[in-house]
Every structure is written in C-alpha cells, then in structure tokens.
C-alpha cells in the first residue's frame, strides 16, 4: 500500500517512511548503500510545556534499523533536530523532535517493530529466524515480543464463560540432582488454560496439577470467576477437586474423547487377557481376534460390510470379546445422547449390560463412569468439549518444534500466548 508521506521527490516516495524525507542516498563498494533521512516537519511541541518551536539547536545524526528496502544491505541514518524550548517558564531547555515511526530513543522504526511482532504472532517461526530476517539480535526480538504480550495477554480482561483445563508436556523427563544428593525425576508438565469459546490459550502454568489449578483460578478477580459457567477437563480427579474448590458455582464436563479412549482400553485389556486364557500366549496373525484387532476399537456404523463380517468372525471365535464390544458401544450410545431423559435410558442399558457380565474390566470401567456421572450429564446437555484446548496444544507443540525445544518456560509461554492471540480462532 502506498502511504502519503508528504514528500514529493522520487527517493522519498520509494523509501516510504511516514513523516520523513530522503536527504541523500549513497552507494559504495565497501559500506553498501546508505540513506540519510530527516523529519519533514520543521517544528515540534515541547514535551513539557507543549509550546511549538522550530529553533534548531543541533542536528544529531543517528543510525536506525528499518525494514528491508530493496535488499538488506541498506543503512539508514536519521538527521534529527534538537529544538530549543521557547517558553521562558519551562524548565526544559531543549528537546529532540520525535515522530510516530521513531519514538524517543528508539533504535528501530515502528514499521520494523510491527514486522517483528507480526512474525512472532502470526507465523510459526523461531526467534532466531525472525532475528536473522529483520537484521536485529535475538534479545531485541524477544524484548519486542515481551512488550506485546503485556498488551494482548490480559487474562483478567477477558469474558470467559467456558474454561478448558488441560495438560501439556513442556519437555522431556529430566533427572535432576537434588540438594540432598538424591537424583530426582522431574516431569515437566504444564497446565494449559483455554477460553473454549474462541480457542485462545489464556495461560500456560508450570507445576503440579491440583495446586496449580487452584492457585491460578484463585488469582483471577471475583467477577472473572463468577462469569465461568462450565469447565471442561479430562478425567482427572485432582483437576476436578481443584475446580470444585476454586469455582463452586461452575459446572464441570468431561471430554467424550477421553471416555471413548478409556472404553477402548478396556476392550484391549479383555482381548489380551482372553488370549492368555485360551491359548496361553499373546495373539498371532492366524487368530482373527489378533489379526483384526483394530476392528474391536472401531465404530460399527463406520465399518464396511467386509469389516462387519470380520468382526462377526472375532465374536464367533470368542463370545467374551462380543460382550465387551457391546459394552463399549453402549458407552458410545450414552455419549451420543443430548438430554437427561435419553441419558438416563442409555445409562440403565449400560448398567444392565455390565451387570450381566463378570468381566472385571467392564466393572472397573462402570465404577469410573459412575464417579463421573454428573460430569457426563453436563457433557451430554452442553456438548462442550476440550477439542479447542487440544487444538491449541497442537499449535504449542508446533511452536516448540520450530524452535527446536525451549529451555526457558517463560519464553515458551510467551510464544504460545502470542501465537494463539495472533491466530484466528480454530
Ligand atoms: Zn518547554
């Protein structure tokens, strides 16, 4: 886009820096290209008293960093104006003329800072990559990104109705030598808080599950906490306890993904146990229950007619696998319901199905589901899932891979928060 810089000469139009005029451009084989610019306006108001002045005291020349203009090897020098304050009552004797593109003492033009922040927020790029492309150092890029976080990362200013709580592995397991001389295993998990309406990550906090959730929510203002209606999480008793304590008014829902995963694990446990009971070893490719084992965790409505025949083959070979498959399908039926009446019917069907068997795996699954019944009911009515949290986690993981891992949690958190604030809601 061409901006009206107020300049009329060709070089100034090409250089296109707001409120500046190109004084001269030089090219030499040793120093490369050099451009000298100066502010167009010859007068400015004193920052202390506001009285306009155009009496020049000095013309200092400073080098600044700017966006690449016709290639990277362009040095930009600014011929500033130090103006004398004309107001006798003012204590300030002189001041340097500032513009929007070059605020006081700034070594970077505002348009270059905009480019750095834009790359940090809207693109999956490593900080070193941004630094190299813009010609500034790594700490400068990080400083500009940190300054931006203060303006976009205002958690307390957000109206969060649906809160997502999820876990995210920040880095590999580490073994650290403790103060007592003992080697300790450190699990670097982070807790991720998400606004489920927009998919924005609110915060990434290091630490143990329950106490972290409790203290993070506790730090929010009362009005913020009162606005939260539903909290979505995975089936973690520790999370649930903490949320109940911190947000007693909010409803809790569990993600159906985790419930289905739990029932699939039950099916696999029964298959493994039956293999050892019937043939005394693990399965082989000659046995249908092993050969077509993936079918046992598939949805019956998505199977082709050939796959359905194979599933029947498995069930014909071992009826217990048929029973456990039916229990798993009953759990899925339960999760498909959208009102409490249908939920009640599906729940009774599931309970009756489990009561009819003696399988310890099914009994154990039912026990778990019973302890999460209220949360499952909330899920069926609200249909609110943690999917956006999981999507945001993927963004965070991609960010980590682009940077080849992060050692500093603060920097990692900064990149995650900026990237989800910059990306459109998923
Ligand atoms: Zn003044």
Q: Answer yes or no: do 355 and 312 share one domain.
A: yes
Question: What's the gap in Å between 36 CA and the centre of ligand 1?
Answer: 28
Half-sphere exposure of 54 (CA within 13 A, CB side): 5
Over residues 25-41, the mean pLDDT reads 89
Distance of CA 51 to the CA centre of its chain: 48
In the reported structure, the alpha carbon of residue 101 is separated from the centroid of ligand 1 by a whole-number distance in angstroms of: 22
Does 269 reside within a domain?
yes
Domain match, 354 and 396 both: no
> 284-308, pLDDT tens digit by residue?
888 877 877 888 888 888 888 888 8
User: Token pair for residue 115?
Assistant: 């480019």
Please tell me which residue, 85 or 425, carries the higher pLDDT value: 85
Q: Give yes or no: residues 249 and 321 share one domain.
A: no
Q: What was the pLDDT predicted at 371?
A: 94
pLDDT in tens, 92-121: 999 999 999 999 999 999 999 999 999 988
Choice among 76-90, 325-339, 385-399 with the minimum mean pLDDT: 385-399
Residue 153 lies in a domain: no
Cα 7 to averaged position of ligand 1 atoms, centre (Å): 29
Output the CA 94–ligand 1 centroid distance in Å. Answer: 7
Supply the pLDDT for residue 425. 43
Burial class (CB in 10 A: 0-12, 13-18, 19+), 327: buried
CB 17 within 8 A of CB 111: yes
Residue 6 is predicted with a pLDDT of 57
In a domain, 118, yes or no: no
Measure 91 CA to ligand 1 centroid, in angstroms: 7
169: CA distance to ligand 1 center in Å? Answer: 56
| 145 lies in some domain | no
Distance from the alpha carbon of residue 302 to the mean position of ligand 1, in angstroms? 77
What average pLDDT score do residues 163-176 get?
82
Same domain, 88 and 226: no
**C-alpha 110 to ligand 1 mean position (Å):** 26
CA–centroid distance, residue 80 to ligand 1 (Å): 18
273, 356: one domain? yes
Of 118-127, 329-338, 371-380, 390-399, where does mean pLDDT reach its minimum? 390-399
Answer yes or no: do 239 and 261 share one domain: no
50 alpha carbon to ligand 1 midpoint, in Å?
A: 6
- What are 53-77's pLDDT values in tens digits? 999 999 999 999 999 888 777 899 9
**Given its phi and psi angles, is residue 105 left (phi above 0), alpha (psi -120 to 50 degrees) or beta?**
left
Contacts of 186 (CB under 8 A, 6+ apart): 173, 174, 175, 176
Name the pTM for this structure.
0.76
105 CA → ligand 1 middle, Å: 19
Q: How far is the CA of 95 from the centre of ligand 1 (A)?
A: 8
Q: Which residue has the higher pLDDT, 128 or 178?
A: 128
Whether residue 4 is predicted with pLDDT greater than 60 in this model: the reply is no
Which CATH number is 242's domain given?
Answer: 3.30.420.10
Question: In the chain, how many domains are there?
Answer: 3
Percent composition of the chain: helix, strand, coil (DSSP 3-state, to 5): 50, 20, 35
Whether 123 maps to a domain, the answer reads no
The residue from 84, 103, 122 where one domain ends is 103
Average pLDDT over residues 209-221: 90
103, 125, 144 — which closes off a domain? 103
Is residue 113 situated within a structural domain? no
Asked whether residue 307 falls in the same domain as residue 374, the answer is yes
One domain, residues 324 and 229: no
Among the residues of 123-174, which ranges form H helices? 127-134, 138-152
pLDDT at position 426 is 41
Residues 25 and 99 in one domain: yes
Question: For residue 50, what are the domain limits?
Answer: 1-103
In a domain, 373, yes or no: yes
**In a shared domain, residues 312 and 267:** yes
Percentage, residues of the chain above pLDDT 70: 97
Please say if the pLDDT value at position 180 is more than 90. no
Residue 41 Cα to ligand 1 middle (Å):
18
Determine the pLDDT at residue 207: 75
Do residues 240 and 389 both lie within one domain?
yes
Ligand 1: centre distance to CA 381 (Å)? 66
- Percentage of residues in the chain with pLDDT exceeding 90? 42
pLDDT band for 240, please (50, 70, 90 cuts): very high
Residues 130-165 have pLDDT tens digits of 999 999 999 999 999 998 887 776 788 888 999 999
CA of 104 to the centre of ligand 1 (A): 16
- Which strands make up the sheet holding 56-58, listed edge to edge? 56-58, 82-84, 94-96
pLDDT at residue 263 greater than cutoff 70:
yes
For the segment 358-381, the average pLDDT, to the nearest whole number, is 92
Is residue 90 included in any domain, yes or no? Answer: yes
In this predicted structure, what is the pLDDT of residue 346?
Answer: 93
Measured in Å, residue 82 CA sits from the centre of ligand 1 at 13
Domain boundary among 56, 75, 103: 103
Same domain, 169 and 246: yes
Residue 61 CA to ligand 1 center (angstroms) comes to 23
């Amino acid at each position: 886009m061409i901006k009206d810089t107020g300049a009329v000469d060709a070089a100034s139009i090409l250089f296109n820096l707001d409120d500046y005029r190109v004084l001269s451009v030089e090219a030499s084989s040793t120093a490369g290209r050099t451009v000298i610019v100066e502010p167009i306006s010859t007068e400015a108001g004193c920052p202390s008293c506001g009285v306009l002045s155009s009496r020049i005291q000095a013309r200092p020349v400073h080098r600044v960093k700017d966006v690449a203009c016709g290639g990277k090897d362009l040095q930009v020098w600014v011929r500033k104006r130090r103006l004398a304050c004309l107001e006798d009552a003012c204590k300030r004797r002189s001041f340097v003329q500032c513009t929007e593109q070059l605020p006081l003492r700034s070594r970077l033009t505002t348009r270059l800072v905009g480019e750095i922040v834009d790359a940090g927020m809207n693109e999956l790029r490593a900080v070193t990559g941004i630094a190299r492309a813009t010609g500034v150092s790594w700490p400068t890029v990080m400083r500009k990104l940190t300054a931006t976080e203060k303006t976009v990362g205002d958690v307390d200013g957000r109206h969060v109705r649906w809160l997502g709580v999820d876990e995210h592995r920040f880095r590999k397991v580490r073994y650290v030598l403790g103060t007592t001389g003992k080697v300790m295993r450190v699990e670097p998990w982070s807790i991720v808080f998400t606004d489920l309406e927009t998919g924005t990550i609110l915060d990434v906090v290091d630490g143990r599950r329950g106490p972290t959730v409790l203290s993070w929510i506790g730090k929010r203002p009362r009005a913020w906490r009162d606005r939260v209606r539903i909290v979505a999480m995975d089936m973690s008793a520790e999370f649930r306890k903490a949320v109940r304590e911190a947000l007693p008014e909010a409803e809790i829902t569990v993600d159906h993904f985790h419930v289905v995963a739990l029932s699939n694990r039950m099916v696999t446990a029964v298959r493994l146990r039956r293999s050892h009971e019937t043939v005394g070893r693990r399965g082989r490719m000659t046995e249908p229950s092993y050969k077509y084992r993936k079918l046992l965790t598939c949805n019956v409505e998505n199977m082709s007619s050939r796959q359905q025949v194979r599933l029947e083959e498995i069930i014909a070979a071992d009826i217990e696998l048929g029973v456990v498959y039916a229990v798993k399908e009953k759990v899925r039926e339960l999760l498909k319901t959208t009102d409490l009446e249908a939920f009640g019917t599906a729940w009774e069907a599931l309970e009756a199905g489990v009561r009819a068997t003696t399988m310890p795996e099914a009994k154990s699954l039912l026990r778990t589901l019973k302890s999460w019944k209220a949360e499952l009911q909330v899920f069926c009515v609200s249909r609110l899932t943690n999917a956006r949290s999981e999507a945001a986690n993927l963004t965070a993981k991609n960010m980590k891979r682009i940077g080849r891992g992060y050692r500093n949690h603060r920097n990692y958190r900064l990149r995650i928060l900026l990237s989800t604030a910059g990306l459109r809601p998923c």
